[in-house]
Amino acid sequence: MRGLSKRYGRRTVVHDLDLRIPIGAVAGFIGPNGAGKTTTLRMLLGLVRPTTGQGTVLGRPLTEPAGYLPRVGALIESPALYPRLSARRNLEALAILAGQYHPSWIQEVLDEVGLGERADDEVRSYSLGMKQRLAIAAALLGDPDLLVLDEPTNGLDPMGIRLMRELIRDLSIRDNRPRTVVVSSHLLAEVEQICDWIIVVDGGELAYQGPPDGLLSAGASRVTLRPEHLDDLGMLADLAAGLGLAVERAGDQVMATLPAGEAPNGSATPWAAGASETEHDDPQEAMRALLGGLNRAAHAHGITLVEIAPSRVTLEERYTGLVAQGAGRRTGDAA
């Protein structure tokens, strides 16, 4: 999808979003509340008409949802079901509507989400977690090529969350057929565990999309340094500070951190001096240059390092940083 925007009156909910998801990926769609996640998913599902933008889903234009929705299963926001119908009748009504009705398939999806034994009970007697599982069963009807799940773990107990994680993993590889899953979630640990593609939106704009490694390495801007001799700690800290890094001493270590907003990619930097005069577009390459620069500087001053390692940031830390950057940028723009 390219240039996707949605405005309600003067309020822009989604702004110029270029979205791409590889076939067969489990894509995590994350962003703070009001970031435009659900509106984007609604546009994808033909519920909301984009103000501008175009794109294709499963090879069919976004403007013709009838062409691709039969191959899409979706759960958007809270489970919406007929409370006075049984789970089975709910699914039957949807399957008939979609032209995908077969009694054994209904039972299959009910069993898959663990509702096989309660299939004939009225939905109003279900707990929130059971309703959520039924809504997921509804999304699985018709064995879709693209599964869109908006907060699928809402209301689920820990066992239900684990089952959901396994289900999503299983779906993406089942039958040796590429099946794409888009999961919108606030549970970043979950996203980190199951997703191999990450999309971050903030304030209706795209903040990142790509493999999780790209996001995490771009944020791995902290380096731990440990000298052989404790006496060298002070000099090592001064060296790192001299290279433009923020320095903090912790026990027998020095933590050197790039100032906020300066992930180790882009232009040549003081800490890379002596290694290369070229720019480092690849964040991992840039991180190697940083580590090399620090090591050379320490060696030049007679300091032997017994540990030099980039700290692994979590998705949550990286996501928080991105959102904070976005908020800062918007504040600046407003000013």
Closest CA to 328 of 244, 260, 265: 260
Q: Is 97 one of the binding residues for another protein (CB under 8 A)?
A: yes
Binding to another protein by residue 324, rule CB under 8 A? no
CB of 122 to another protein, least distance (A): 10
Maximum separation of any 2 CA atoms in the chain, in Å: 78
Query: Least distance to another protein from the beta carbon of 37, Å?
Result: 14
Residue 82 as a binder of another protein (CB under 8 A): the answer is yes
By CB under 8 A, the residues from 102 to 121 that bind another protein are 102, 105
For another protein, give the closer residue by CB, 21 or 294: 21
Closest by CA position to 152, among listed 86, 222, 262, 77: 77
Neighbours of 215 (CB within 10 A): 22
Nearest residue (CB) to another protein, 138 versus 167: 138
Place of tokens 């509702």: 115
Q: In this structure, what are the phi and psi dihedrals at residue 283, rounded to the nearest 5 degrees?
A: -60, -35
Smallest distance from the beta carbon of 233 to another protein, in angstroms? 31
Q: Which residues contact 261 (CB under 8 A, 6 or more apart)?
A: 325
Long-range contacts, 33-38 (Cβ 8 Å, 24+): 35/201, 35/202, 35/203, 35/204, 36/6, 36/201, 36/203, 36/204, 36/205, 37/150, 37/184, 37/201, 38/76, 38/77, 38/150, 38/184
Min dist CB 293 to another protein, Å, is 20
Number of amino acids touching another protein (CB under 8 A): 85
Q: How far is CA 55 from CA 2, 24, 66, in A?
A: 6, 18, 15
**Which residue, 44 or 243, is less far from another protein as judged by CB?**
44
**Binding another protein by CB under 8 A: which of 4, 30, 72, 240?**
72
Closer Cβ to another protein, 36 or 55, answer by number: 55
From residue 141 to residue 180, the character string flagging contacts with another protein as x (rule: CB under 8 A) and all else as - is -xxxxx-------------------------xx-xxxx-x
Q: Which of 9, 99, 251, 259 binds another protein (CB under 8 A)?
A: 99
- Cα-to-chain-centroid distance, residue 43: 19
Pairing of strands 222-227, 253-257: antiparallel
Contact flag: residue 326 with another protein (CB under 8 A): yes
Closest listed residue to residue 156, CA positions, set 141, 146, 147, 166: 166
Q: Does 328 bind another protein (CB under 8 A)?
A: no
The interface with another protein within residues 266-305 (CB under 8 A) comprises 266
Residues belonging to the chain:
335
Closer to another protein by Cβ: residue 197 or 305: 197
| Consecutive H or E run containing 96 | helix 87-98
Indicate the residue type of 30: I
Which of 125-133, 138-146, 242-250, 308-316 is the region at the interface with another protein (rule: CB under 8 A)? 138-146
**C-beta of 57: minimal distance to another protein in Å?**
6
Q: What x/- string results for residues 211 through 230 when contact with another protein is judged by CB under 8 A?
A: x-xxx--x------------
Whole-number Å distance between alpha carbons of 21 and 289: 31
Nearest to another protein of 98, 273 (CB atom): 98
Binding-site member from 7, 89, 186, 296 for another protein (CB under 8 A): 89
Nearest distance in Å: CB 75, another protein: 9
